[in-house]
Amino acid sequence: MTIGILAVQGAFVEHQNMLNKLGVNHFEIRQPKDLLIPMDGLILPGGESTAMRKLLDDLGMFSTLKEMIAQGLPTLGTCAGMILLAKHLTNQEQSHMQLMDIDVKRNAYGRQLGSFFTTNTFADRMIPMTFIRAPFINRVGQDVNILSTVDGHIVAARQKHMLATAFHPELTGSTYVHEYFLQMIGHGSI
């Protein structure tokens, strides 16, 4: 199994470290030719969603990535990755890929000073969660499963082959979210 990790901006190295812990092959996606490498799944990391979108447009990769995900490529979007996947953004005029039937509020917990760490349930398991200028989900569509809430806000959800978290699972010692994603792909067990 091989996972592609978008590496144009954001916390991609930390996702590489998690996959290394799990013994999973991976590669960085930095330019259009990288999208030709066969992959079983894709990670859209945390970072700054507006910068990621601009870079994807400038590099000519946005439409291709969107099409790959729309056609069923299993995708994990964390923080900014969740914002990229969302169908609607409640506090920004333009959405990005508009693939996952969720409404997301960017920087919902405030600026950098609003960042925090907690332990909460994700898919029936208590895990550590790191939130950095995090979004949360205001609304989910009918076929979206809520996997985690924190303080009454939805912070993780799954729709078919797409998994999105408002928190950064790659910044903790727990590999559970990545294991869950690998299980979604059909590899690994939890």
Domain ranges of the chain: 2-185
Whether 93 sits among the annotated catalytic residues: the reply is: no
Whether the CB-CB separation of 55 and 8 falls below 8 Å is answered with yes
To the query of whether residue 88 is one of the catalytic residues in this protein, the response is no
Cα gap 1→18, rounded to integer Å: 15
Structure confidence at residue 156 (pLDDT): 97
Q: What is the pLDDT of residue 187?
A: 62
What pLDDT does 21 receive? 96
**Can you tell me the distance from the alpha carbon of 31 to that of 59, in angstroms, rounded to the nearest whole number?**
7
- Terminal-residue alpha carbon distance, the chain: 16
Q: How far is CA 157 from the centre of its chain?
A: 10
pLDDT values of the chain reduced to their tens digit, one per residue, 190 residues: 999 999 999 889 999 999 999 999 999 999 999 999 999 999 999 988 889 999 999 999 999 999 999 999 999 999 999 999 999 998 766 778 999 999 998 766 655 555 889 999 999 999 999 998 888 899 999 999 999 999 999 999 999 999 999 999 999 999 999 999 999 998 655 4
Options 79, 96, 178, 179, the catalytic residue: 79
Q: Which one of the listed residues 15, 26, 96, 168 is annotated catalytic?
A: 168
pLDDT score for 96: 87
Q: Which two tokens stand for residue 64?
A: 């291709």
From the candidate CATH numbers 3.60.15.10, 3.40.50.300, 3.40.50.880, 3.20.20.140, the one assigned to the domain spanning 2-185: 3.40.50.880
Q: What is residue 179's predicted lDDT score, i.e. its pLDDT?
A: 96
Q: Do the beta carbons of residue 102 and residue 147 sit within 8 Å?
A: no
Known catalytic residue at 14? no
Spatial CA neighbour of 40 closest among 87, 66, 10, 75: 75
Q: What are the start-end ranges of the H helices in the chain?
A: 12-21, 49-58, 62-70, 80-85, 176-185
DSSP assigned state of 144: P
Q: Are 176 and 189 in contact, with CB atoms under 8 Å apart?
A: no
